[in-house]
Amino acid sequence: MNKNTVLAWATWIMIFVGMGMIALGAFKYDEVAGYGFGAVGVGFFAIAWVFNALKGRV
Residue 58 is predicted with a pLDDT of 74
Sign of CA dihedral 7, 13, 19, 20: negative
**Amino acid symbol at 42:** V
* pTM summary value: 0.85
Per-residue pLDDT of the chain (58 residues; tens, 9 = 90+): 888 899 999 999 999 999 999 999 999 988 899 999 999 999 999 999 999 898 888 7
Q: Residue 17's closest CA among 56, 4, 28, 9? A: 9
Residue 57 is predicted with a pLDDT of 81
In the chain, what's the furthest Cα-to-Cα distance? 43
What domain count does the chain have?
1
Domain region containing 11: 3-54
